[in-house]
Structure formats: structure tokens, C-alpha cells
């Protein structure tokens, strides 16, 4: 027999903070928690409900009523006979008498789909082994560190022969050394928050505090993050605070009325994605979402969140069918959404000043990475969607016509420092008929790989941090399919294997050479030497580090015509050495003998006082660094 004890709940500090939008650790109060070895307290916010009960495997799924504190809208009760591993839901009765089983919004683990009952977790602390990683992260700002992200969908990176998922433990054994071996600095996981529909890729979330049980238990996910940090890999996770899953047994009309979503059904209904929009102006929703963000960053030790669909939170008319919607000032800004994002970033950075808050934002909204005090949104990074679209459009084009569209490359130089950018070739660009990165490239198979190597080098040299989606590292031909693993069989082909070698070499150069990342967001980090010559479809610029004589010359040839005696202007006479040639035979190119050293004389060229000549490979790129130049001390 289940016994209910201590059911009346008085107004507490935690309840007050939650209701006033200041409860930023609400998961420690709501949900299911052990009071001692024999008592478990359940709490849920359902202010307009007529009755709430808890049902679970511990009471044969029969309703045990909870008690309402009318002043807080919180229902609570303490039960005996509950054990770790038990399943439960809340039974919510609306004021009209409708009865609906609902998830626990604050659950930290759910049963495996298709079920969505929450799991009672034992209060067992995680023993972390990442103190050295966290200390290093805290020492320097991310802006001045190399950030090279490998984006992963865990369900389709690799699967077993029977098509079953790898577990978090198996992914730790295989994914971590693989990504580390390629030379990436971070892993970005497409949403691992609990979700039911595989086809949503995790962007229609069910559990805002629960790692998905597809790959294991809550504790297994924490161990995965710990293993990443021990391997000196950061972990970023995609997070969706703008909208949630449509299912009626989830957050929608939780107490029988709009609770987490807008009361205005037109604003609540997200037609484009088949979801419900959070009411970002409601204080309890703010507490819920900011608690979720801090939970992943604090409890799970994540190094950053990529906030999905920020544009949907910034504009009233972003969704289909909402054209013409305006605020009280007559424009289309979503004032509640803007205020929430500013509040979110203020609180996150107050707790974790050394993490990444990345906005996936596709419009020209100003100051996305600007300081909140100056009217900005407060993120420290934004995906550069304009650069991504223009770059892909340029490289997809037949080289014969690139001279007429060179502005696709040069336009990004105009706004590259407007925000602190990450350059993304993400999952969105290799799905739904868009083709894989390699398949986008024009020409025969050889030229496709030559284009891909050049494009990847262009990204590595361009100011901004960078992200690549899984499979692009070896030039997978098929576009991404979320229901099956990557085409690992591709690596039996020499050209794919060479491409993978090239990615490792490029990442190694990027990580080792401070000019490629140290001044990513400052005008001093780049010198424009020869960036606008459509006729030749070539480009040269210099990336500069803080040290005067520490720089890398990046030279590109975007057409399949070799340029001999190609002159490059440089700041100093002296000797220079090759860092990377994309046409090196080792990487699948045609050059069996490389030009490895270059001598610059006092011959001015393109605004630089010295210059040297190279052979610029057809459809290729060179990265070159100074070896011994005039003016640099021997030290």
C-alpha cells in the first residue's frame, strides 16, 4: 500500500523564485527527489489544474493524489515505497474534468521510446575526472583559442550490424578517439535531450533535463562528457528553447490551459515545424528554460550550447501564416523573445563566463553577439549563415562562371567582424536533396575532391571559428540519412581515404598555427593582399597572430588552371616555407614533388614591400609561413 505523508506544501523560497522568473535551479525542487532512503517527494507546477496525482510502477499505476499550494500553483506529495528505477507520470485533471497523463517536465531520465514515463533516479553524485580540462578552459577566452567543431548525430554516426544504436559507453570508446585523431577541438552533438520522433533529429524535445535513453542512462551520458574532457575535447550540445514537441501528453496545455505555451493559439502554434512555441514572456517558463540551460552546463559539464532557431524567437512574423504581425511599436520584433535571450545569456555567463553560447540565427538582426548592456543579445558566437550559403553557392558553380560571381566570396569581407562568427558546414546543408558536400562540387570525381579540399582550406583560413558535419571529413558521396550509419565503406576507396588524411593534416595545421585563430574577431587578424581578382579567380590574404612575425599566407586558385610564376606580396623579404598544398599526392592530388621553400625579395607587390613567386596549383590552395625574414630576431 502506498502511503502519502507530508503532502501540504508551504510557500518556499524555491517556489517563489520559480514563479518570479528567478528560479535557475528549478530541477532541484521540482520533479522527483529522495528525501531519505524511504521517502520520495514529487512536485509539479500545474496552477489551473483541478487535481493532480502521481501514478507509477510503485502504485500499480493507480492515482495517488498530490496537494496544491494555491499561492504557488505547485502540487506536491511525499510517498514511501518508491525505489530508484521506478517509472511514473502525473495524472492531471483540468477544470473541465478532462483527465490526461502527463510527463514530468523536470525528469532527468525517461524510459526508452516509444514510452515516455519518467524514471526515478537515485541521488548518486557523479565522480568527475575533468578538473584539468575545466581549469584550462577557465584560463583563456574562447575567442583566443582554436575552435574546430565536429558536428555529430549520435544515432547515425555508427550503428551495430543489426542496426541498433551504439551506447554512450561505446561512443566514448570509438567516437572520441576518432574525432581526436582527426584533430578537432570540440564535438557538437545534435540534440541529445529526450525526444520521441527520430525524424525530428532531436529538435522537437520532450525532456529538457534528460539525456535521451536511446543510448543509455543519465549517468552514462555524464561519463561520455567526462571521457571527452579527459581526451581534451570540448562538448557542445544543440538546445531548443523556442518550441517544444506537439504531443498532448507532454508540455502542451499542461494543466488543461496554456501553461508553457502562449495563451494566444496563433502565437503558440508553430506551423513551420509542427511544434508549440514557448511563452517566453512568462516568468515560470523563463525559470524552466534557464534552469535547463544551466543544468546542462553545470550538472553535465558541457562546454557550450548551440541555441537553435533564434530567429523564431526574435520575430513575430517569422513563422508561416504570421505575415504582418507587429508589436506595440509597429515593427516585427518579438520583444518577449529578445528580453528572454538577453536574460538567458546574462545568467549563463554569470555562472559560466568561459563557455560558448552559440546562436543559430539566419537574419541580419544586429548585435547578436553584442553585450546585453549595449542592447545586444549577449551570445558570444553566431553561425555565419551568409558566409556558408555564399561559399557553397560559389563552389557548387561550374568554374567557368566563377569569375562572374566572385562577389559571393568577397562580400563576406564586408561584415566578417560585425559579429563573432562560427563558419558552419552543418547537417542542414547535406540533407533533404541538397547533396553531400563532395557531391555538391562540380566536375568529375577527381575535381570534386580538389574543390572540396580547396573549400575546406578556405574555411580554415577565413576569420572565424569553424564547424564541419560528420562524413564531410572523407567526402561521403551520399547525403546524410538519419536512419542509418555513415557510409564507412567509402574509406575502402583511395580517394576517400586520402581526403580523410587531408582533413587530419589541415586540422593539424589549423590547431598548430596561431595566426589561423588567435585574432579571429579583430581587423588586425587579416591583411587583404589580393582578394578581388575575378578575372583570374585567385585570391591571397594573410592571417596575422599577435606576434608581429607570426603569420600565414593563404593563396587560392578557384579554377582548374595552374598559375605558374604567380607572384604573392608579403610584408618582409626573406625565406618562407610551405605548410600545406592541397594538391599534394598524399591527399589525393597530382603533385608528386612540392615547392617547399620560397625566397621573397624587396620587389613590392599588391601593397606589400616584398614578394615571391609560386606555382599555384590548379583548383588548389597553398598555406605558407615565414621561416626567416628580415627584421625578425634570431630568438
Please confirm, yes or no, whether 360 is among the known catalytic residues: yes
Residues making up the chain, counted from first to last:
635
> Measured between alpha carbons, how far is residue 490 from residues 474, 487, 493 in Å?
8, 6, 6
Catalytic option among 86, 308, 520, 584: 308
CA distance 539 to 561: 14
Computed on alpha carbons and rounded to an integer, the radius of gyration of the chain in Å comes to: 27
Q: Which three cell numbers stand for residue 327?
A: 508589436
CA distance 635 to 624: 21
User: How open is the CA angle 515-519-525, to the nearest 5 degrees?
Assistant: 75
Closest of 241, 387, 356 to residue 309, by C-alpha:
241
Q: Which H or E element spans position 415?
A: helix 412-415
Question: Can you tell me which residue has the cell 518550441?
Answer: 243
Catalytic option among 226, 360, 429, 583: 360
HEC sequence for 115-128: CCCEECCCCCCCCC
For 178, list phi and psi in degrees, rounded to 5.
Answer: -65, -50
The CA dihedral of 544, 548, 549, 553, to the nearest 10 degrees, is: 20
Extract the runs of DSSP E, i.e. beta strands, from 412-562.
421-425, 465-469, 526-533, 538-544, 551-557
Q: Which residues pair with 186 in a beta bridge?
A: 149, 234
Q: Which three cell numbers stand for residue 444?
A: 568529375
CA distance 16 to 22: 8
Measured distance between the N- and C-terminal CA atoms of the chain, rounded to whole angstroms: 80
Closest of 479, 577, 460 to residue 520, by C-alpha:
460
Please confirm, yes or no, whether 194 is among the known catalytic residues: no
Question: Could you count the other beta carbons within 10 Å of the beta carbon of residue 401?
Answer: 11
Question: Catalytic site residues?
Answer: 308, 360
Amino acid at each position: 500500500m502506498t502511503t502519502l505523508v507530508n503532502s501540504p506544501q508551504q510557500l518556499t523560497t524555491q517556489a517563489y523564485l520559480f514563479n518570479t522568473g528567478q528560479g535557475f535551479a528549478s530541477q532541484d525542487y521540482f520533479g522527483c527527489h529522495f528525501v531519505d532512503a524511504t521517502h520520495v517527494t514529487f512536485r509539479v507546477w500545474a496552477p489551473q489544474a483541478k487535481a493532480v496525482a502521481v501514478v507509477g510502477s510503485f502504485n500499480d499505476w493507480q492515482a495517488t493524489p498530490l496537494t496544491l499550494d494555491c499561492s504557488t500553483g505547485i502540487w506536491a506529495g511525499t510517498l514511501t515505497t518508491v525505489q530508484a528505477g521506478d517509472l511514473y507520470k502525473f495524472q492531471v485533471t483540468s477544470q473541465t474534468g478532462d483527465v490526461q497523463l502527463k510527463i514530468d517536465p523536470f525528469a532527468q531520465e525517461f524510459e526508452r521510446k516509444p514510452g515516455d514515463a519518467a524514471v526515478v533516479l537515485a541521488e548518486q553524485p557523479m565522480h568527475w575526472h575533468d578538473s584539468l580540462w575545466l581549469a584550462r578552459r577557465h584560463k583563456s577566452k574562447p575567442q583566443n583559442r582554436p575552435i574546430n567543431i565536429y558536428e555529430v548525430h549520435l544515432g547515425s554516426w555508427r550503428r551495430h550490424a543489426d542496426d541498433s544504436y551504439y551506447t554512450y559507453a561505446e561512443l566514448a570508446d570509438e567516437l572520441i578517439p576518432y574525432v581526436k585523431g582527426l584533430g578537432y577541438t570540440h564535438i557538437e552533438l545534435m540534440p541529445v535531450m529526450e525526444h520521441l520522433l527520430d525524424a525530428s533529429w532531436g529538435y522537437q524535445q520532450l525532456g529538457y533535463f534528460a539525456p535521451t535513453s536511446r543510448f543509455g542512462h543519465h549517468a552514462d551520458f555524464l561519463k561520455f562528457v567526462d571521457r571527452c574532457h579527459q581526451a581534451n575535447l570540448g562538448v557542445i550540445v544543440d538546445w531548443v528553447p523556442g518550441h517544444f514537441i506537439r504531443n498532448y501528453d507532454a508540455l502542451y496545455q499542461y494543466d488543461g490551459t496554456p501553461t508553457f505555451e502562449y495563451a494566444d493559439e496563433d502565437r503558440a502554434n508553430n506551423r513551420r515545424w509542427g511544434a508549440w512555441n514557448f511563452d517566453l514572456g512568462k516568468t515560470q517558463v523563463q525559470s524552466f528554460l534557464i534552469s535547463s540551460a544551466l543544468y546542462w552546463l553545470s550538472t553535465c559539464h558541457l562546454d557550450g550550447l548551440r541555441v537553435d532557431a533564434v530567429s523564431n524567437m526574435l520575430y513575430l512574423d517569422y513563422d508561416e501564416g504570421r505575415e504582418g504581425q507587429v508589436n506595440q511599436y509597429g515593427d516585427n520584433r518579438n520583444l518577449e523573445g529578445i528580453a528572454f535571450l538577453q536574460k538567458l545569456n546574462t545568467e549563463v555567463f554569470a555562472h559560466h563566463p568561459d563557455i560558448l553560447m552559440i546562436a543559430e540565427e539566419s537574419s541580419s538582426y544586429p548585435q547578436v553577439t553584442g553585450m546585453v548592456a549595449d542592447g545586444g543579445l549577449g551570445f558570444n558566437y553566431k553561425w555565419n549563415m551568409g558566409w556558408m550559403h555564399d561559399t557553397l553557392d560559389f563552389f557548387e558553380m561550374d568554374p567557368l562562371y566563377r569569375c562572374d560571381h566572385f562577389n559571393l566570396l568577397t562580400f563576406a569581407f564586408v561584415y566578417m567582424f560585425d559579429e563573432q562568427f562560427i563558419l558552419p558546414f552543418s547537417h542542414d546543408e547535406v540533407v533533404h536533396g541538397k547533396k553531400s558536400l563532395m557531391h555538391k562540387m562540380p566536375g568529375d570525381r577527381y575535381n570534386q575532391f580538389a574543390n572540396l579540399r580547396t573549400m575546406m582550406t578556405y574555411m580554415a583560413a577565413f576569420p572565424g571559428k569553424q564547424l564541419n558535419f560528420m562524413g564531410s571529413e572523407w567526402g561521403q558521396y551520399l547525403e546524410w540519412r538519419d536512419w542509418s550509419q555513415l557510409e564507412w565503406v567509402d574509406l575502402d576507396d583511395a580517394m576517400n581515404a586520402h581526403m580523410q588524411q587531408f582533413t587530419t593534416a589541415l586540422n593539424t595545421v589549423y590547431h598548430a598555427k596561431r595566426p589561423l585563430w588567435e585574432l579571429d574577431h579583430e581587423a588586425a587578424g587579416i591583411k587583404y593582399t589580393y582578394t578581388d581578382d575575378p578575372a583570374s579567380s585567385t585570391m591571397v590574404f594573410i592571417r596575422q597572430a599577435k606576434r608581429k612575425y607570426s603569420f600565414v599566407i593563404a593563396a587560392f586558385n578557384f579554377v582548374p588552371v595552374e598559375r605558374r610564376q604567380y607572384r604573392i606580396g608579403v610584408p618582409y623579404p626573406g625565406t618562407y616555407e610551405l605548410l600545406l598544398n592541397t594538391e599534394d599526392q598524399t591527399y589525393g592530388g597530382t603533385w608528386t614533388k612540392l615547392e617547399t621553400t620560397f625566397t621573397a625579395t624587396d620587389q613590392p607587390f599588391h601593397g606589400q614591400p616584398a614578394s615571391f613567386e609560386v606555382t599555384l596549383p590548379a583548383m588548389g590552395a597553398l598555406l605558407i609561413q615565414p621561416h626567416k625574414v628580415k627584421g625578425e630576431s634570431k630568438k
